[in-house]
Structure 1
Amino acid sequence: MLRVTFLGTGGSLPTPERNPSAIIINREGELMLFDCGEGTQQQMMRAKTGMKALSSIFITHFHADHILGIPGLIQTMSFHGRTEPLKIYGPHWVHEFARILSSLGYYKLKFEIDAIDLSPGDVVKRDDYSIVALKTEHSIPSLGYALVENMRPGRFDRQKAIELGVSPGPLFSKLHKGEAVEVDGKTINSEDVVGEMRPGRKIVYTGDTRPCKAILEASKDADLLIHDSTLASDQQQWAIESMHSTSEEAAKLAKEADVLKLVLTHISSRYSDNPTQLLEEAKKIFDNVIVANDLMELDVPFRDKN
């Protein structure tokens, strides 16, 4: 499973239709939160994402609409008996932020917060995937993030393995893992029955940013690009001054990067209940695009490229 749930899709301010920024990714049961605007924990309850399996929070930057939901969330998890440490990643100042979190309210947390300072290019390695911190262009120090899965083994040709004398069972598993096996004095190599390695999945989340080179490069062939789309093209100058992106700019970047799907988010309150203008402008450039809505879920499937 690789599922993205959009908990907050609004820009700067909450509206009746949209909470501030937050997405949660469920990867094989592990939950990762990217930004955490106010009201995020209630959105998690509405979406039934759960909280117990939350391993990490990745903060793009320290504007209030991206972090104000964290104090309430950690207090709730502590109240529910969490004891496992929570990792909070972010740009410079994340250690001070974690210290403040731990002292808020007349209530001592029952678990530790591990703050990890990231810079552009840093990689958080997990068993079979990584989170890459990306340089973005906003009005304060900021990061985007790419979740990049490791390459997968190629397809196993069961019929060919049998024709070569390999019996179904443990030897199949060894071959699929890349090991050679011996059958009746004959060596069967993995590449004899296993195709080329296949790509894992890639999700890029920009946070607040102008279109930039680092996001473009990281988004090459991404399965899903979640891009700042605060404004329409008639507000281009304001997008530049506030260091956000228009839907048209996000679509141009998605097209150049050859991503599979683009999701527009961080929607200004002026389009909160009717983002049609944003969608129409983006679709003129890049067809496979949608505007995120609160509580929307997207499953990201594997795709073969060989």
Structure 2
Amino acid sequence: MEITFLGTSSGVPTRSRNVSSVALRLPQRAEVWLFDCGEGTQHQLLRSDLKSSQIRRIFITHMHGDHIFGLMGLIASCGLAGTGQPIDLYGPAGLEDYLKACAKYSYMNFSSRISVHLIQPGRVYEDENFTVSCLKLTHRVPAYGYRVEEKDRPGRFNVEKAIALGIPSGPLYGKLKQGQTITLEDGRKIRGTDLCDPPETGRKFAYCTDTVFCDAAVELAQDADVLIHEATFAHQDAQLAFDRLHSTSTMAAQVALLGGVKQLIMTHLSPRYAPGNAIDPRNLLEEARAIFPNTRLAKDFMTYEVPRNRTQDEPWQVAS
């Protein structure tokens, strides 16, 4: 699981930060899942190492323009590229009407490439490897945070040990890999769990924006390997955050602390904190680290590999 930040500004783009979009790359299945799709996302994709032809799912948090205005352009470009890849879209009420209106007045034909799934709190997607769920956050319009959970994988099967026990290869190996108990022709019972390493714990990723501090964000963040949380305002501008139902850097850190996450990455920064101003992004980072030390600050095109069994001191990866 590799995360790439395609847009880390709030409201409007700046010279160094585009508006919201985060890509989750799943190399084991050659897929990319997008979370939000602000204006210019397809241009950001062209400047990244990601392939738009691999986009399989897009999860929209809410219907504000800085999170959806890039959606139609991206869909159109994918269609014109002739990839033929189906795309599943997930989002709140209004998403399907918005897409239909845009398609009608731009004479675009989605055909059967696009499937829209309107979300409610709970599970929104599941397959053999992943589960995606959402909860309603606290914002001026209906907004949802997402949680992606990778399912646990069986531990490595010890073939050498199986051979030493005289177990013939074939279907019996498959049963043992699944942890089943088998009976050999000589009457011996062999437990698959004795021949497999401990299961590999699946990774957990949470994405919360736009929202003021709320219990739903803490629930989504529980035990996550990485939490991406908005930090639109500095702590001294907390009243603005409450008025506009956005988060401060300290609110993001409190969610991470209460959720017991391993890594917090803050995004969705207000342009008012551009470098050179009285308060800049480094100040927001210092505020958050005072509460939750393992905090990073996102920037456009930064990548973060979500590792297994990661220690807090393990380095992260940043794209140039």
Stretches of structure 2 lacking an aligned partner (at least 5 in a row): 312-320
CA distance in 2, matches of 1:153, 1:222: 20
Aligned residue in 2 for 1:13: 12
Equivalent position amino acid for 1:230 in 2: T
Given that 1:81 and 1:110 are in contact with CA atoms closer than 8 Å, whether structure 2 keeps it comes out as no
Q: Point out the more displaced range, 28-37 or 147-156.
A: 147-156
State the AA in 2 paired with 1:282. Answer: A
CA distance in 2, matches of 1:181, 1:44: 50
The CA deviation at 1:304 is 8.1
The percentage of counterpart residues that share the same residue type is 38
Q: Which amino acid aligns with 1:30?
A: E
Partners of 2:180 and 2:101 lie apart in 1 by 51
> CA 1:281–1:304 in 2, change beyond 3 Å: closer, same or farther?
closer
Shift of residue 136 of structure 1? 0.7
**What does residue 240 of structure 1 align with?**
242
What TM-score, normalized to structure 2?
0.88
Query: Structure 1 residues 146, 71: CA separation in 2 closer, same or farther (over 3 Å shift)?
Result: same
Preserved contact between residue 10 and residue 272 of structure 1 (Cα < 8 Å): no
Counterpart position of 1:285: 291
Which of 292, 295, 307 is the aligned partner of 1:301?
307
- CA distance in 2: counterparts of 1:122 and 1:128, whole angstroms: 14
The worse-fitting range, judged by mean Cα deviation, of 118-127 and 139-148 is 118-127
Moved more, 129-138 or 149-158: 149-158
2:152, 2:40 → 1: CA distance? 36
Q: For 2:165 and 2:136, how far apart are their aligned partners in 1?
A: 50
Q: Paired residue for 1:275?
A: 281
Distance in 2 between the 1:272 and 1:60 partners? 25
> Structure 1 residues 183, 10: closer, same or farther in 2, change over 3 A?
same
Residue 128 of structure 1 aligns with which residue? Answer: 129
Output the amino acid matched with 1:290. R
Q: Which aligned pairs between 1:1-306 and structure 2 lie closer than 5 A? A: 2-27=1-26, 28=28, 29-109=30-110, 111-157=112-158, 160-162=161-163, 164-166=165-167, 171-185=172-186, 186-273=188-275, 274-303=280-309
Relative contact order, higher structure (CA 8 A, sep 6+): 1
Q: Secondary structure at the match of 2:74?
A: helix
Q: Is the 8 A contact 2:181 2:192 kept in 1?
A: yes
Tell me by how many angstroms 1:119 deviates: 1.0
Tell me which moved more, 79-88 or 296-305: 296-305
Measure the CA separation in 2 of the matches of 1:91 and 1:188.
Answer: 50
Give the whole-Å Cα distance in 1 for the aligned partners of 2:58 and 2:134. Answer: 13
Alignment partners' CA distance in 2, 1:88 and 1:202: 21
Question: Which letter maps to 1:300?
Answer: V
Counterparts of 2:253 and 2:167, CA distance in 1: 50
CA-to-aligned-CA distance 1:186-220 (integer Å, 9 cap, x gap) = 12111222354442011000120112112212211
CA distance in 1, matches of 2:34, 2:297: 20
Q: For the residues of structure 2 that align with 1:272 and 1:36, how far apart are their CA atoms?
A: 22
CA drift of 1:171 comes to 4.6
How far 1:84 sits from its partner (Å)? 3.6
Structure 2 counterpart of 1:251, one-letter code = A
Displacement of 1:268: 0.5
CA distance in 2, matches of 1:110, 1:48: 28
Q: Partners in 2 of 1:176 and 1:214 — Cα distance? A: 38
Q: Name the SS for the 2:44 alignment partner.
A: helix
Change (3 A) 1:298 1:5: same
Matched to 2:303, the amino acid is E
Q: What is the SS of the residue equivalent to 2:286? A: helix
Q: Secondary structure at the match of 1:148?
A: strand
Give distance in 2, aligned partners of 1:184 and 1:301: 42
Residue 103 of structure 1: CA displacement? 2.1
Give the SS at the match of 1:52.
helix
Within 2, Cα distance between the matches of 1:301 and 1:198? 11
Aligned residues: CA RMSD: 2.1
TM-score, L = length of structure 1:
0.92
2:296 aligned partner, one-letter code: I
Runs of at least 5 residues in structure 1 that lack an aligned partner in the other structure: none
Secondary structure class of the residue paired with 1:98: helix
